[in-house]
Amino acid sequence: MKSILVIGIGRFGYHLIDQLSKAGDEILAVDSSEERIEPVLGMVTSSLIGDTTKEEFVRTLGVANFDVCFVAIGDDFQSSLETTSLLKECGAKYVVARASRSVHEKFLLRNGADAVVFPEKQLAEWAAIRWCSGRVVDYLDFPGDYSIFEIKVPKEWIGKSLVDLGVRNKLHLNVLSIKRDGKAILEFPANLVFEEGDTVTIFGADKDIKKNLNINY
Domain ranges of the chain: 3-117, 122-213
* 3-117: CATH, from 3.40.50.720, 3.40.50.150, 3.90.1170.50, 3.40.50.620: 3.40.50.720
Given a contact cutoff of 8 angstroms between Cβ atoms, the answer to whether 60 and 52 are in contact is: no
Distance of alpha carbon 53 from alpha carbon 10, whole angstroms:
17
- Other Cβ atoms closer than 10 A to 68: 18
Domain 122-213 = CATH 3.30.70.1450: yes
- Whether pTM > 0.75 for this model: the answer is no
pLDDT, tens digit, for every residue of 31-42? 999 999 999 999
Split at pLDDT 50, 70, 90, the class of 105 is: confident
- Cβ neighbourhood burial of 160 (10 Å; 0-12, 13-18, 19+): middle
Over residues 116-168, the pLDDT tens digits come to 987 766 666 666 666 656 667 777 766 678 888 888 999 999 999 999 999 99
Please give the average per-residue pLDDT across 9-32, as a whole number.
91
Of 110, 158, 106, nearest in space to 135 by CA: 158
Task: Report the length, in residues, of the chain.
Answer: 217
Find, among 215, 95, 104, the residue nearest to 150 by Cα: 215
**CA-closest candidate to residue 27, choices 42, 38, 12:** 42
